[in-house]
Amino acid sequence: MVLWQVFLVLAVTTVIAHVVILILIMAELDRRGYKTNILLARIYTFKYLSAYKETTRKETGKVGPLYGLWILTINLTLVFALAGFLSK
């Protein structure tokens, strides 16, 4: 494979991980009694993230680990996509 294809495969992989982490965040919110809708997840992504951040902060005193993973995967996606396009 060419270098740009490797970066784009990595970008797609991190996008999939990003979506999975968002679904896990929504599942955590559902367990805590916060109603979420999988069909509207793209619209309410930041609402769900802030709700997860606040509920985990209230429970444990710090932000939950899925929040950091969500931020990491979106940043890795941007880096890999940019590297893929620049290497082409």
Per-residue pLDDT tens digits for 4-36: 999 999 999 999 999 999 999 999 999 999 999
Task: In whole angstroms, give the CA distance from residue 67 to residue 65.
Answer: 5
The whole domain housing 46 covers 3-87
Mean pLDDT across the chain, nearest whole number? 94
| Angle between helical axes of 65-87 and 45-60 (0-180°, round to 10) | 140
Per-residue pLDDT tens digits for 52-77: 999 999 999 999 999 999 999 999 99
Q: Is 63 left (phi over 0), alpha (psi -120 to 50) or beta?
A: beta
Residue where the block lists tokens 């606040």 = 54
Domains held by the chain: number: 1
Indicate the pLDDT class of residue 88, thresholds 50, 70 and 90.
confident
